[in-house]
């Protein structure tokens, strides 16, 4: 990894300090992780209460993960749609208040696990109730609701119609692998087959649309409440779409797929010090020539739609806009892949022309970062990411003081994290370090073992980075039991961490607020 010159960075920090640029603090918590006695977090009272907590701590940013409906593995980064919302986030209590469920439907529920989401159990409980609420809405909704629903369907028909049919077909054939398990005519989207399926499943399709209406209506209420209380939401976009998604099914021309809808190449990352085989992600890669022909219309829609849900967008694997690791289909590892250039500059120019020069994006620029990636990021004035846990990789037992992730090297135009959803919690990370590295961490922070976590948070706040963000687990001081995800695994615990309660020790809120105030991260 290339690290910028330390002297140059310090010079930049002096300039930005003189300009009195605003700095903010954020917490990272996906809505699924909000506390709930119904098995999974939702867009109801708990979301509003979390925003109240942020306001109390003077935190002005709430970072979430992608909001799309998840499939196998329940990863938010492998959603069945890049435009739809995750139906499991719909708040059942709100539907009961509105008269589309009985209060008993919400009060009588299974005994769900504490601190971890059992997605299978949640689906078994929640999906029948969402179906019941959808049917009640279609039968009982008043004229105001029906007009709003009709307007929603009309405005979103360009993605909603395909998504609703896709979800119904996934249920019909008990499989989302549209290119290998569905009838050929549906795989190839033959008009007659699509019309027949649509006519046959009208009621089921309508239910999917109603549930999307529920999701977006509830989410809008949450976002409006956040913004009204001085909290901006940082959303997230995975650079690639899932192979078993409506995006792949309806946009084969924009992906490297053959005439039968089968991938000819997959995405991944090359072998490195952590994996001799690299990582084979399996996502289809883009046919960028086709995107250019359409002036990147699909990407423009994608960014535009996401900006309706959040105030700032983090683009995962941003380096793939400069070049991405392409692996021929059929390979079982990523070893035989190659770097393939991508038209990032043309894409960014098209986005600016359509959406304006100041698109609020964050570039996830972790991993193998080359000069062309840095040029693409910096020429578009996008903040990159700095991970504090990555700052203490020793070289021959010595701390590299020029490491770009060390707080004293961070520039203003960056986002600094203790760790992300893919990292261990900071306490878990520190507990697993070897003795030599622990000593360097303690010396850098001038802290004993029991104060390392809070000193990490303190130097995070003190850095020059525009945004300083810590996962909720770090505020709570959790160890490895609070980890959200282990990359390149499909473990049962991935994406399942859940906060038990928002009744958090007041000293934690007070201490965080004190750091925000003393280091000037109070926002505008």
- pLDDT reported for residue 261: 95
For residues 55 and 91, membership in a common domain is answered with no
Contact 94, 269 (CB under 8 A): no
With b meaning 16 or more CB within 10 Å and e meaning fewer, what string describes 426-451? bbbbbeebeeebbebbbebbebeeee
| Mean pLDDT value of segment 194-199 | 98
Three-class SS state of 394: coil
| Mean pLDDT value of segment 486-501 | 89
pLDDT per residue over 317-346, tens digit each? Answer: 999 999 999 999 999 999 999 999 999 999
Q: Residue 288 above 60 pLDDT? A: yes
Looking at the domain assignment, is residue 12 inside a domain? no
Contact 318, 364 (CB under 8 A): yes
For residues 43 and 90, membership in a common domain is answered with no
| Among 52, 118, 127, 422, the one annotated catalytic | 422
For residues 44 and 94, membership in a common domain is answered with no
Looking at the domain assignment, is residue 286 inside a domain? no
DSSP one-letter code for 412: S
For residues 43 and 149, membership in a common domain is answered with no
How far apart, in whole angstroms, are the C-alpha atoms of residue 247 and residue 162?
9
Nearest alpha carbon to residue 414 among 441, 377, 443 = 377
How far apart, in whole angstroms, are the C-alpha atoms of residue 342 and residue 294?
15
- pLDDT reported for residue 524: 67
pLDDT per residue over 410-454, tens digit each? Answer: 999 999 999 999 999 999 999 999 999 999 999 999 999 999 999
How far apart, in whole angstroms, are the C-alpha atoms of residue 176 and residue 79?
11
How far apart, in whole angstroms, are the C-alpha atoms of residue 235 and residue 279?
25
DSSP one-letter code for 286: B
Q: Indicate the pLDDT class of residue 171, thresholds 50, 70 and 90.
A: very high
Strands (DSSP E) found in 162-246: 232-238
**What are the backbone angles phi and psi of residue 281, rounded to the nearest 5°?**
-75, -35
Strands (DSSP E) found in 370-413: 384-387
- pLDDT reported for residue 275: 80
Q: Residue 465 above 90 pLDDT? A: yes
Q: What percent of the chain has a predicted confidence (pLDDT) above 70?
A: 96
- pLDDT reported for residue 331: 95
Tokens of 8: 């140059």
For residues 437 and 466, membership in a common domain is answered with yes
| Among 74, 87, 326, 364, the one annotated catalytic | 364
Catalytic: 272? no
Residue for token pair 């490195």: 272
Q: Residue 21 above 80 pLDDT? A: no
Catalytic: 175? no
Looking at the domain assignment, is residue 390 inside a domain? yes
Catalytic: 446? no
How far apart, in whole angstroms, are the C-alpha atoms of residue 479 and residue 425?
6
Residue that is last in its domain, among 216, 235, 252: 216
Residue that is last in its domain, among 158, 182, 216: 216
Q: Residue 193 above 80 pLDDT? A: yes
For residues 58 and 164, membership in a common domain is answered with no
pLDDT per residue over 359-403, tens digit each? Answer: 999 999 998 899 999 999 999 999 999 999 999 999 889 999 999
Looking at the domain assignment, is residue 204 inside a domain? yes
Q: Domain of residue 45: give its range.
A: 21-63+386-479+500-523
Residue for token pair 């993605």: 159
Looking at the domain assignment, is residue 5 inside a domain? no
pLDDT per residue over 205-225, tens digit each? Answer: 999 999 999 999 999 999 999
| Mean pLDDT value of segment 138-155 | 97
DSSP one-letter code for 269: E
Torsion (CA) 42, 45, 51, 54 in degrees, nearest 10:
-100
For residues 132 and 211, membership in a common domain is answered with yes
Three-class SS state of 121: helix
Q: List alpha helices for 332-451, DSSP H.
A: 344-355, 371-379, 426-431, 435-445
- pLDDT reported for residue 142: 95
Looking at the domain assignment, is residue 250 inside a domain? no
Looking at the domain assignment, is residue 303 inside a domain? no
- pLDDT reported for residue 15: 40
Residue that is last in its domain, among 216, 251, 272: 216
For residues 54 and 121, membership in a common domain is answered with no
Q: Indicate the pLDDT class of residue 12, thresholds 50, 70 and 90.
A: very low
For residues 44 and 123, membership in a common domain is answered with no
With b meaning 16 or more CB within 10 Å and e meaning fewer, what string describes 59-90? bbbbbbbbbbbbbeebbbbbbbbbbbbbbbbb
| Among 316, 326, 365, 474, the one annotated catalytic | 316
| Mean pLDDT value of segment 139-159 | 97
How far apart, in whole angstroms, are the C-alpha atoms of residue 511 and residue 524?
21
- pLDDT reported for residue 492: 75
Nearest alpha carbon to residue 309 among 239, 221, 440 = 221
- Average pLDDT across the chain, whole number: 94
Number of domains observed in the structure of the chain: 2
For residues 48 and 113, membership in a common domain is answered with no
Contact 24, 61 (CB under 8 A): yes
For residues 394 and 432, membership in a common domain is answered with yes
- pLDDT reported for residue 274: 67
**Beta 323-328 vs 265-269: how paired, if at all?**
antiparallel
How far apart, in whole angstroms, are the C-alpha atoms of residue 93 and residue 100?
10
For residues 32 and 99, membership in a common domain is answered with no
Residue for token pair 């329940």: 74
Looking at the domain assignment, is residue 221 inside a domain? no
């Amino acid at each position: 990894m290339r690290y910028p010159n330390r002297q140059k960075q310090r010079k930049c920090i002096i300039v930005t300090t003189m300009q009195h640029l605003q700095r903010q603090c954020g917490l990272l918590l996906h809505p699924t992780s909000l506390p709930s006695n119904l098995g999974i977090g939702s867009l109801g009272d708990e979301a509003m209460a979390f925003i109240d907590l942020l306001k109390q701590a003077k935190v002005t940013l709430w970072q979430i993960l992608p909001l799309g409906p998840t499939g196998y593995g329940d990863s938010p980064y492998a959603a069945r749609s890049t435009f739809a919302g995750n139906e499991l986030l719909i708040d059942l209590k709100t539907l009961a208040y509105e008269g589309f469920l009985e209060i008993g439907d919400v009060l009588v529920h299974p005994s769900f696990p504490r601190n971890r989401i059992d997605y299978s159990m949640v689906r078994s409980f929640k999906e029948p109730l969402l179906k019941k609420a959808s049917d009640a809405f279609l039968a009982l909704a008043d004229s105001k609701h029906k007009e709003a629903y009709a307007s929603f369907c009309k405005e979103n028909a360009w993605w909603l119609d395909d998504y609703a049919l896709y979800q119904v077909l996934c249920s019909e054939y008990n499989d989302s692998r549209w290119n290998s398990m569905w009838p050929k005519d549906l795989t190839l989207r033959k008009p007659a087959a699509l019309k027949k399926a649509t006519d046959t499943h009208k009621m089921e399709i309508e239910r999917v649309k109603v549930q999307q209406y529920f999701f977006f209506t509830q989410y809008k209420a949450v976002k409006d409440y956040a913004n009204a209380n001085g909290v901006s939401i940082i959303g997230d976009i995975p650079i690639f779409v899932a192979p078993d998604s409506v995006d792949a099914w309806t946009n084969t021309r924009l992906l490297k797929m053959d005439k039968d809808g089968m991938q000819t190449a997959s995405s991944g990352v090359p072998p490195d010090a952590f994996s001799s085989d690299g990582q084979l992600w399996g996502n289809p890669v883009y046919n960028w020539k086709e995107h250019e022909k359409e002036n990147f219309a699909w990407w423009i829609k994608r960014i535009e739609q996401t900006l309706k849900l959040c105030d700032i967008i983090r683009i995962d694997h941003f380096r793939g806009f400069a070049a991405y690791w392409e692996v021929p289909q059929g390979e079982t590892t990523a070893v035989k892949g190659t770097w393939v250039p991508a038209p990032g500059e043309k894409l960014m120019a098209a986005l600016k022309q359509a959406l304006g020069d100041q698109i609020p994006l964050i570039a996830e620029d972790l991993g193998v970062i080359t000069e062309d990636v840095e040029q693409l990021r910096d020429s578009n004035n996008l903040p990159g990411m700095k991970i504090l846990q990555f700052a203490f990789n020793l070289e021959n037992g010595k701390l590299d003081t020029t490491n770009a992730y060390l707080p004293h090297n961070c520039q203003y135009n960056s986002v600094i994290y203790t760790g992300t959803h893919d990292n261990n919690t900071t306490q878990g990370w520190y507990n697993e370090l070897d003795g030599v590295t622990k000593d360097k961490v303690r010396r850098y922070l001038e802290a004993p073992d029991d104060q390392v976590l809070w000193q990490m948070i303190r130097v995070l706040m003190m850095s020059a980075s525009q945004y300083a963000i810590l996962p909720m687990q770090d505020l709570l001081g959790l160890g490895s039991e609070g980890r959200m995800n282990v990359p390149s695994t499909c473990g049962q615990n991935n994406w399942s961490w859940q906060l038990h309660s928002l009744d958090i020790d007041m000293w934690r809120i007070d201490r965080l607020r004190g750091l925000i105030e003393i280091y000037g991260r109070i926002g505008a």
